[in-house]
Homo-oligomer: A and B are copies of this chain.
Amino acid sequence: MVSAAATPDGRQYVLTLGCPDRPGIIAAITSFIAEFGGSIVEAGYHSDLETGWFFTRQSIKASTVPFGVEELRSRFERVAADLGPETEWQVHDSGVRRRAVLLVSKEGHCLHDLLGRATSGELPATIEAVIGNHLDLAAITETHGIPFHHVPFPKDPAERGPAFERVRELVDSHSPDAVVLARFMQVLPERLCEHWAGRAINIHHSFLPSFVGARPYHQAFVRGVKLIGATCHYVTAELDAGPIIEQDVIRVDHADSVTDMVREGRDIERVVLARGLRWHLESRVLVHGRRTVVFS
């Protein structure tokens, strides 16, 4: 599906690349683009002095490329080969709208927010399906014309294997670019973390690494912190420890009860998830080890 809405400034081919740093990389890449007269709309570069790694993201105006995206990929292979065997790169066509599947539980604030953004054309993806372990959010999902799949989870964590398997099938049937845990409240089994590596995105309701795990606002209250936050991160096998895409905080004080924090925290959760998800969908996030490079 080609969507103009996804590309307000016109269709773009977005090149992302990471490789060991050495002089001449930018020249090699930009000369390659200049040779066919490609116009670079947006460019990000980062040389990480600590890891010796180089990262770039280049948005090329599609209308200035005299061939298709497959040909672009095929031609770029030679440039990438010169940058060494560790080089990782991708070319994403912004004209192809991306797909997201959302996992939810009972709390709807992130879902409502993402549905609203999708409706407004603000989310650079279609929401293909919503999967919930409770039925609370079925109606609001369906009024937006999006299928809701109910997958109940047994109380005993040891018996949840089949439910997770059902979730995996439903998700995979959409081949999504993003699997969004929009306050899903279930810890993904390791095999699913690996299966969706680099695509599963969680919103955790604390400023990680503080308050990992359950009831982070309660933990924040007990510790008496003066700011609470939220963290959007890739899901990995280690709980709440995946590469961080975005974080933000809001000020609280002694007068805020846990209930107040939960309410105020939602405003941060919504925005942090929406922002992190958009960056992921626009190929702005490059993961390297436990850190991310975000060309926002």
Contacts and interface: CB of A to CB of B under 8 A. Distances in A.
In terms of DSSP, what is the predominant structure of the interface of chain A? mixed
A251 interface: yes
Given A64-B23, A267-B271, A226 B210 contact: no
Interface in A1-44: 8-9, 23-24, 26-28, 30-31, 33-34, 37-44
Interface string A230-260: 0000000000000110111101011101110
Interface stretch (A72-80, A106-114, A155-163, A190-198): A106-114
B254 A48 contact: yes
B225 A208 contact: yes
Contact of A108 (B9, B120, B227): B120
Contacts of A208: 210, 223, 225
| A: contact size bracket | 35 or more
Interface of A: 8-9, 23-24, 26-28, 30-31, 33-34, 37-50, 55, 64, 107-109, 112-113, 115-117, 119-120, 122, 140, 143-144, 207-211, 221-227, 229, 243-244, 246-249, 251, 253-255, 257-259, 263, 266-267, 271, 274-275, 290-294, 296
Contacts of A8: 259
A107 to B, nearest CB: 8
A259 B209 CA distance: 21
